[in-house]
Amino acid sequence: MSRPRFWDPQGVRHGGMPTYPWRMAPEHLLTRRQLRARGLQPGGQDVVAQIRWRSRKAGTGVREAYLYRLDRAVPVRPMTPGRWRAHQAMMRARRTCPSCRTECPYVIPTRYGECLTCIDSAGRQAA
């Protein structure tokens, strides 16, 4: 039986970064999402390894996710009222059209920089 394509725990083939195939990383190495599901965050630690897998979505045909050590992860800071207000203000700014100054129920597409109503009224397509 041959080894999987991305099996490189010593990092010889991938620039010194230990690399594992999809679902084959050691249990003590987790992605950001896996840490977040446990109520943790990387806490300033550097990436220690990566997972790589083939994908049609990526332009190169290969996607990757970075791994962090579980024993160095720290708890996520709680959402305080001040942080919540800042988050709401940031989202309000992303939903406010700079042309007509109306707040939309969606985030303004950065591709156009205007709400969909302003794009349609200017005769441009929103595709």
Q: Identify whether 27 is part of a domain.
A: yes
Angle at 70 between CA 53 and CA 10, to 5 degrees: 50
pLDDT band per the 50, 70, 90 thresholds, residue 63:
confident
pLDDT band per the 50, 70, 90 thresholds, residue 11:
confident
pLDDT at residue 125 greater than cutoff 70: no
Residue 101 lies in domain: 81-121
pLDDT at residue 2, rounded to an integer:
54
The verdict on 26 and 66 lying in the same domain is yes
Looking at the 3D structure of the chain, how many domains does it have?
2
pLDDT at residue 120 greater than cutoff 60: yes
Name which of 91, 92, 90, 99 is nearest 116 in CA terms.
99
pLDDT band per the 50, 70, 90 thresholds, residue 66:
very high
Hey, is 59 helix, strand or coil?
coil
pLDDT at residue 126, rounded to an integer:
46
pLDDT at residue 49 greater than cutoff 80: yes
The verdict on 89 and 58 lying in the same domain is no
pLDDT at residue 108, rounded to an integer:
95
Distance CA 5, CA 19 (A): 10
